[in-house]
Amino acid sequence: MRFTIQKAVSHPGIFTQRIRRQWSRDVTIILFLLPSVALFFLFVVYPVIQAAHYSVYRWNGLGSLADYIGFKNYQALFQDPIFLQAIKNNILIAVLSLLLQLPAALLLALLINRKMPGRTFFRTVFFLPYVLAPVVTGLIWSFIYNPSNGLVADLLRQFNPGATPPAFLADTRTVLYAIFVAICWQYFGFHFVLYVAGLQNIPAELIEAARIDGASSRQATFYVTLPLLGSTIRLSVFLSILGSLQYFDLIYVMSNGGPVNASETMATYQINYGLQRFALGYGSAVGVIMFVLCFAFALLYQRVIMRQDLSGRPAL
């Protein structure tokens, strides 16, 4: 230590050089980070904070925030059967996804994880809908469900000519399930691709070893492959639930929450009852509830279920 100080003093050039280098490092850090941090703060973090702020006011979006009403917006929300229905719909979509969409994606990934003709073609096709705009998917499926010229109506007419074709999107009992089919069509490919990537990381020797030890191919799948795929499955469940809480585009196009609010989700409710009715405080409260639900779920899930997958990574 003494030595370096002496050296630095006796060679003032090195000292100033080091300061200059330190200074140029700090300037680089600041100049390089600032634009990103500023944009991220202004358009992502600040709105989230503002949502909490607006949500305790009655505010039409114009004029100043004057009408402070405390938690009345939240009270009103939890007393509104339409909003409760919206939450229920979000949960129903999440549950259906877990029960149908993800197992189907997993099964297909397992099927395709072997030598067979057309593998790349199938992979390309399965993932294709995911890159389409949800709006486009919504329009396509509106056409397919259309009672006068849609595919479903036409198919039913083939079997039962003369019957009035059902209007799935106009019936409160079927609308959400009809939308769910479109959701699966668009999103299962994403989970499929996650599983395929996960499967490729499992060394083939492990499966071979199990087979040599006398395991049937089903046993090898259940006792070797699936446990090793655990972290991927847990991740895909996580992303699926998080996504289910936020559907907007597809539903907006196919039913806009109707008929009679049967397919309302939190996101469509936020727009239909917040923005469209100039109740921005009220709408922001919906945003805050979504935020809290997502955050609580993410925290809980990562702490409890994904704990073993995240070791070595800073926790949120």
Residues numbered 178-237 forming contacts with other proteins, rule: CB under 8 A = 185, 189-190, 193-194, 197, 232, 235
Count, residues near other proteins per rule CB under 8 A: 90
Tell me the closest approach of the beta carbon of residue 130 to other proteins, in angstroms: 8
Q: Does 129 bind other proteins (CB under 8 A)?
A: yes
Nearer to other proteins, 24 or 160 (CB): 24
Angstrom distance (rounded) from CA 281 to CA 192: 40
Regarding 9 and contact with other proteins (CB under 8 A), the answer is: no
User: By C-beta, is 29 or 305 nearer to other proteins?
Assistant: 29
Residue 301 as a binder of other proteins (CB under 8 A): the answer is: no
Interface stretch with other proteins, choices 73-81, 82-90, 140-148, 170-178 (CB under 8 A) = 140-148
Task: Candidates 2, 115, 173, 218: give the one binding other proteins (CB under 8 A).
Answer: 115
Q: Which is nearer to other proteins, 176 or 280 (CB)?
A: 280
Rounded to whole angstroms, how far apart are CA atoms 265 and 248?
Answer: 8
Contacts of 109 (CB under 8 A, 6+ apart): 192, 195, 196, 198, 199
Q: Specify the stretch interacting with other proteins by CB under 8 A; choose among 1-9, 41-49, 94-102, 164-172.
A: 41-49
Q: How far apart are CA 236 and CA 190, in angstroms?
A: 9
Binding segment for other proteins among 80-88, 94-102, 130-138, 220-228 (CB under 8 A)? 130-138
Smallest Cα–Cα separation from 177: which of 187, 169, 185, 189?
169
- Angle (deg, nearest 10), helices 230-244 and 175-200: 150
Closest approach of other proteins to the CB of residue 57, in Å: 12
Residue 51 CA to residue 272 CA, distance in Å, equals 17
User: What is the smallest separation between the CB atom of 256 and other proteins, expressed in angstroms?
Assistant: 10
Q: How far is the CB of 106 from other proteins (least distance, A)?
A: 13
Among the listed ranges 80-88, 159-167, 206-214, 275-283, the one in contact with other proteins (CB under 8 A) is 275-283
Q: Which residue has the tokens 């050039």?
A: 13
Binding-site member from 149, 160, 172, 216 for other proteins (CB under 8 A): 149
Query: Which of 10, 36 has the CB closer to other proteins?
Result: 36
Nearest one of 158, 157, 178, 159 to 167, comparing CA atoms: 178
User: Which residue type, as a one-letter code, is found at position 189?
Assistant: G
> DSSP per residue over 120-184, as a string?
HHHHHHHHGGGGS-HHHHHHHHHHHH-TTT-HHHHHHHHHSTTSPPP-GGG-TTTHHHHHHHHHH
Determine, following the binding rule CB under 8 A, whether residue 170 of this chain makes contact with other proteins.
no
112 contacts other proteins (rule: CB under 8 A)? yes
Nearest 5°: CA angle at 201, between 197 and 206? 135
273 binds other proteins (CB under 8 A): no
* The token pair that represents 88 in the structure block: 């229920």
Contacts of 128 (CB under 8 A, 6+ apart): 189
Which one among 10, 12, 13, 31 touches other proteins, defined by CB under 8 A?
A: 31
Q: Which is nearer to other proteins, 9 or 295 (CB)?
A: 295
- Contact between residue 166 and residue 154 where contact means Cβ atoms under 8 Å apart: no
**Which residues ranging from 69 to 108 are in contact with other proteins (CB under 8 A)?**
108
Q: Establish if 177 lies at the interface with other proteins (CB under 8 A).
A: no
Q: Report the C-alpha gap between 294 and 134 in whole angstroms.
A: 21
Q: Does 48 bind other proteins (CB under 8 A)?
A: yes
**In the complex, what is the shortest distance from the CB of residue 6 to other proteins, in angstroms, rounded to a whole number?**
26
Distance between CA atoms of 14 and 7, rounded to whole angstroms? 9
